[in-house]
Structures are given as structure tokens and as C-alpha cells.
Structure 1
């Protein structure tokens, strides 16, 4: 049985029974049956249903936002913003999927040669709790628009969101089995991956979870796309507009209580502007107010689970023991962790070597741009990054040298349905979103006629 617990006060929201192996097998049979029909539907039909989903999300935004906040603790306003982003994602793929998957003519000596993009089956999405609606839609929208069907294995602490999403698609008119939410323990994941109808796995989660799922996918010869952890560098060059930079620095590190793979985590600042940056950054973090995510005026909600808050506390203490300087925050009560600023962070400390998944900003000081690039790249991760400078030419030069899947210059690092999203190194492989994302789980078929 899974329990949904409100992180702020540890009150029980709901309890959910898990599926047995026999019940899961019935779901897989339903998925196989649904795929045989769904793969033949037109883009126009799929578009109409996805836009209906968008309309229902918009109509019931308050209800879904409240559910997200209850289950994983993000601010109610952050839940609303997530739903608005999800709606835009629906509209984007509804209007662009057909163009992304049009046949492509290739001229050869044959009478006609072309590439066609066709669905492959069911795609399993193993999704995290930190963006409980957007993450699911990020995997499901391109899969469904391509003619695949979707199986969702969501994080246990957001089971209510998982079931609400499945009910939403049913209300929108999707046939049974096109999107199913599977409330299962992890020991049944291999049973799903091994199923003949399942032809791909998309996972967003930890490095450990990714390695386990990738091993299972490889064992059963199924394609996988992994979006894993990050330790994103936020590089502040000497000519940066510090007022703008600091505002986004606070937002990037502290939104969603710091629980985002692409949050800025290592703030790499040039020595020549360090003092001014630190003064402004400290002021910005001190202005934050941690507390009840439903309450007006609160800027930082609780972390999603007790074990996550305890791990963050341990990582912070190890950094302090190794010589890092605590400037602001660092206290915890249950899941409630005060926004924290840590200075003098060095390689070898958890704040540099590991993913810090919570409201802790870590500052690293460097002397030159070359050193900033080296420090940024001295990480096992390579998900996202940002560079801050008034010289766009220089910003682009630095961006090209950063080892990550995305680099944003002078703006918040974020996922955007219009742009490919994913990482390198231990941050995973493959891409979600945009054209690249929808082509991950299709059969790129060559047809040649002579």
C-alpha cells in the first residue's frame, strides 16, 4: 500500500492499493489491444483529443494544483505555473507532431526512396514526484501523438496525481488502455519492460534508478531514454548585470524548494565581482520565507519527503566539516528546510561532487573565465548550465565549451517544449521534447521502390 503524505505537516492525504502481478498482466493486455487500434488513428483525431485534455486542465487547474501541493509540497502558485506549462506542451505537440513525423524523401537511384516515422508499441514512463504533471506529459504527449500508447509508473508519493492524470485522459475521450497509470511496486517493473507490447522506457529520476532501468531495458532489448540528476553550473562573468543575475540565481536555485534536476546548483563567480555578487545573493536568499505552501507570502515550501530532507542535512554538514562556510540558513524541521547559502565550496565536497536536491546554493570562486569553464566541467553530470554576461559573443563562446545538454545565456535554465531536452555524462542520454523527443520512440523506417 502506498501512502500520500502532505510534506508540510506529515498528515496523511490518502492510501492506495498496489496492483498484483495478475492485475498488471491484464493492464498490459489492455495496452496491447489499445495499441492495435490507436496506431491507426489520424493525427487530426489525436490532436483533437490532446486539445481536449488541455481544455480540461485549464478548466480544473485549481483542483489539480491543490492535489500537487498536497502530495509533494510545492507552493500552490508553483503548481499552477506547472499546469500552465503542461497546457502549453499539449498545444505544442497537438499542432506540431504531424509536421515532425512527415515522410522525408531521399533521392537515390531508386524510383522513390523515403523515410517514414511509425509507432512501435507501448512506452513505459517511470516518472518522478518533483513535477508530477509536467514530467508525465513531457513523455506522454510525443508518445501518444506518434501513435504509441503509454504506461505510467509514477513515484509512490504522488499516486493521487498519477490516477488523476489517467482519469483526465479518459474524461477527454481517449480509448481504454491508451494511457494507463500502474500503481505498482518496483519489483514489477521488469515484468512491464519484458512485455512484448512495451518497446521503450523513458525514465526521469536518480542516477541509480537510471542505471537499474537501463540494465533491464538492455537485457530485454528495449530502447531507453534517461533524464537523470544534475549539478548545473551558473557561471557569473565579470561583466554580468548583477541585479538581473542574482534575481534569477535565487529563482533557479530555490524554486520548487530546490528540487529540480536543472536547478542551478554550483554558482561559479569570478573573483573580481565576488564581493558584490555575494552581498546581493545573500540578501536575496535572506528575503525568502519558508513555510506552508498554501499560505500567501510563503516563497519556499517544504521538501517532498523526510528522507530527502535528512539526506540534504547530512550533505550540508559534510561540506561544513570540509571547510565550506555557512552564510544563511541550514536549519531543518521535518521536511521544512530553510533556504541556505554555502560559500567556499571546493571540489571533493558533496555540494560539488553530488547532486544537492534541495534549497542549498553553493558558491565557488574562480580567477579566470578559463578556470570557470574547467570548474563547470569538472562534474560527473552534464544536464544544464547558464552563463551570465553582457557580451553575447563571449557568452556563446563559453556556452559552446560547457559539457551539458543545454546552456542558457542570460536566462533561467528550463525545459521548453520547443527545444530538445536531455543530458550527457551521468545525467543520462537521449532527448525529450521538440522534434528530437518525438522521434526517440518511433520506427525510422526506410522504404525504397525501384
Structure 2
């Protein structure tokens, strides 16, 4: 994929960029490593000052930044602005809490024959961040804010279709006061990742992206014995039981499926409805999806913009066509509109069988699959019938059912009577082939720290 800004709403190439040369990559790694040797000794108070100043800029520039995000990956202006403001919140959260999260953890010295004994968190060094295009600012900031507050430095290899967002991130942190080379953007293709990760000056890596990308980075890091955090795909279930507030569940289901034009790892994708309310759920859900307005993402009346890439739109289209050819029923959508750009309509599919790829595969677009179940056991069985385990949603007012879903669903997260959202205050990550490690919360900032045991006689 060329490194370029291509407007998904029109297919027009707006600007192209030249990939960094091998010499430029080498120089960037050298600068990052040199910066870490001094930056690691800065105080939490100083880092917090820089993080809060960066948050100030993100808030002040939210409208301009939103326009850039929309131009490069096609989400609506409203959701793009919300993303920029969420990044500011992330910086402020770690500015306020990092020192307490990384405070020494005391042990009982008498029990280990010491005068002092404790664990101390120390930064690892240069961390490579390989990030996707779907949340071009937030995905990177939820790594950068805790990593920089912990005393690490970062090198960002962003997706090739959001180069201007990638450059903005490095620029806004520099203008916020972070010292030169604390956070660098490298405009390179995926083929450069292995070289960077194998460099002995790079201590660790984090990746948010596809399963194949995660396999590649995980294998290289394993070979080099370097820690990684991987946040990969998801095919999240959204379960609705008879005791649920059905109106609230349907309204949330529509939002959960089409958020970010349906291009979110934590978007609900498989909707599992109890047979007692299945028909009502499907009818109202289809009506809600049909009511959405697809169009220009810069128009405030637009609900769903284009998909970010032409190849992504084509893949969604193929998944729907294959399911229909195998007997699935398309309740709404399912036809690419005849217009420029990479648009695809909100689509609902039912009558999906286990032999269809759609039963287990992730669909990265505004396509919902709906399943009928007899009871809670079958609901949990279908929820877990995927190799992914990122997040999940369950709607029920029955306390016993809530506990069953919390305990029984195989996922890194479960949201009861609500929609999955990433919060700085809560750990974020998955199980199974959705990856490992955690971002956000105290767990996230500790992922790229060495917990050093200290024992003093």
C-alpha cells in the first residue's frame, strides 16, 4: 500500500509521501535511544506538565484535527472530533495517575530477611508502536500517553493511509513540550517493521491490527525475546434476553454495529437474540439500520460514512455475497451504492449456519449477523463459537443471567446492558486470537515497565 492520503468519500488521492530510507530509520532509532537515556530520569511532575499541555492542544485543535481524520479515513466529523477529545482525556488521566500507578510496591521486609524490600517499576526504553487506521489518533495515544508518562520513548509506524494523522501526533506532542525524539513518527511500510523490532536498541513493541500482523510481530518479538502487547481482531457478541429493556437494547445495537462506519474491533458484530423476543428484535433492529443516513462524512446529517479503504469495502461485499449464496437472508442493505467512494450500506443478515464463514469471521464494516437461541446456554455457546475474544455485550435484567454471562463468555471484556467502550480507567484487551496484554488503566502503563525486585540487607 502506498503511503498516501486518499479520500475514502471520493477515491481521490490527496497527497503522497515518500517512505523513510534505511538511513533515516537508523537515525531515528539512534535518536530515540539517546533520548531515552536522559528522558527516563525526568520527574513525573515534569512529564505530567508536558502531557497536560499536549491535552490542551488536542482540545484547542479538535475541529481541525477532526477534519484531517475524516479526510484520511472517512469517519464522520462528529466521531472524529470525539476521538481527538478522547485523546486529550487519555493524556490527562495518565498525567494525574501515573506516579501513583508506578509507586514502589512494598513487601514485608521481616519475612524475607531484609531491612527493606519492595518492587520498583522502571521504563524499558524504546518501544515500537505499530498502529491501525480506524482510530488513527486514539489507538496511538492509548499507547503513547502511558508509555511516555512511565519514562519510555516511542517510535510510531502508523498505517500507510493515515500519514498526516501520524505526523500530527508527533508534532502535537513536541509542541506540548515533550523533548525532541521522545515520540517519533516513521513513515515506512510494513516491510520495515522487522528491522526496527530486531534492533537491539528497541526494547518492546505494541501492535493493534489484524491477526496476520499480530502473528508476524509476535513471532519476531518472540525470537528476539522482547515483550509485546497485541490487540487484534474481534467478532464481539451482543446478546439480548427476554428480560432486557428491548427498546434500549435495539437502539444501542444499531450504534454498536455502525460506530466508526462499522470498522472497530470492539464493535458488536454478532447479535444473539432469545427466541421469545427474536422477531421483535430483528424487526426493530432492521428498521433502525435502514433509517441511518449514508453519505458525505463531512455532512452533519450523515450517520455512516464510507469505509476507509477500497480493499476493505470489497472484502465486506464479498463476505455478504458469500453468505447469501450459501443461504443466509439479507434483511436490509447488501448492495453497494452506485456512487464514488468506498461506501457500503448498513446491512442485517439472518439464517446463518455454522458452515458459513460469516459464522466465525470478523466483518469490518456495517454488517450485522443475527442468531436465534433457545436459552442462555445456547447464547453463550454461540458467543464463544469464534477464535476471537475481545469484548462482549449482554442485555438482561436478571441478576443470575448477568452472572452467567460475566463468568461464561470468553472475552477480555463484558458489558452488561451497555455498549463496549474503551475507558482510560479500565483495562482493555482480549483473549484467544484477539491478542494478549492490556492497554489503559494501571495495567496498561505497567506493560512496558520492568518490575524490579529490591532487597536491602
CA RMSD of aligned residues (A): 0.9
Instruction: Map 1:6-405 onto structure 2 (within 5 A).
Output: 6-107=7-108, 108-333=112-337, 334-405=341-412
* Alpha-carbon distance in 2 for matches of 1:211, 1:242: 39
Residue 304 of structure 1 contacts residue 335 of structure 1 at CA under 8 Å; is this kept in 2?
A: yes
User: What SS does structure 1 have at the residue aligned with 2:203?
Assistant: strand
Residue 9 of structure 2 contacts residue 296 of structure 2 at CA under 8 Å; is this kept in 1?
A: yes
* Alpha-carbon distance in 1 for matches of 2:240, 2:453: 47
User: What SS does structure 2 have at the residue aligned with 1:404?
Assistant: coil
Q: Report the CA distance between 1:88 and its aligned residue.
A: 1.1
Residue 327 of structure 2 contacts residue 351 of structure 2 at CA under 8 Å; is this kept in 1?
A: yes
* Alpha-carbon distance in 1 for matches of 2:277, 2:159: 42
User: What SS does structure 2 have at the residue aligned with 1:160?
Assistant: helix
Q: Equivalent residue for 1:435?
A: 442
Q: Report the CA distance between 1:351 and its aligned residue.
A: 2.1
* Alpha-carbon distance in 1 for matches of 2:410, 2:77: 34
* Alpha-carbon distance in 2 for matches of 1:17, 1:358: 30
String of CA shifts for 1:342-383, please: whole Å, max 9, x gaps.
Answer: 111222322221110000010011111111001111110000
Q: Report the CA distance between 1:392 and its aligned residue.
A: 3.6
* Alpha-carbon distance in 2 for matches of 1:115, 1:341: 52
* Alpha-carbon distance in 2 for matches of 1:335, 1:302: 5
String of CA shifts for 1:124-145, please: whole Å, max 9, x gaps.
Answer: 1100000000000011111100
> What's the TM-score once normalised by structure 2's chain length?
0.97
Residue 193 of structure 1 contacts residue 216 of structure 1 at CA under 8 Å; is this kept in 2?
A: yes
Moved over 4 A (4+): none
User: What SS does structure 1 have at the residue aligned with 2:136?
Assistant: coil
* Alpha-carbon distance in 2 for matches of 1:85, 1:129: 16
> What's the TM-score once normalised by structure 1's chain length?
0.99
* Alpha-carbon distance in 1 for matches of 2:354, 2:54: 46
Unaligned runs of 5+ in 1: none
Residue 125 of structure 1 contacts residue 136 of structure 1 at CA under 8 Å; is this kept in 2?
A: yes
Q: Report the CA distance between 1:397 and its aligned residue.
A: 2.4
Q: Report the CA distance between 1:393 and its aligned residue.
A: 4.1
* Alpha-carbon distance in 2 for matches of 1:161, 1:339: 27
User: What SS does structure 1 have at the residue aligned with 2:222?
Assistant: helix
User: What SS does structure 1 have at the residue aligned with 2:128?
Assistant: strand
* Alpha-carbon distance in 1 for matches of 2:163, 2:405: 42
User: What SS does structure 2 have at the residue aligned with 1:175?
Assistant: coil
* Alpha-carbon distance in 2 for matches of 1:357, 1:15: 25
Unaligned runs of 5+ in 2: none
- 1:423 aligned to which of 430, 438, 441: 430
User: What SS does structure 2 have at the residue aligned with 1:164?
Assistant: helix
Asked if 1:407 corresponds to 2:414, the answer is yes
String of CA shifts for 1:206-265, please: whole Å, max 9, x gaps.
Answer: 000000011111111111110000000001011111100001100000111100000000
Q: Report the CA distance between 1:332 and its aligned residue.
A: 1.4
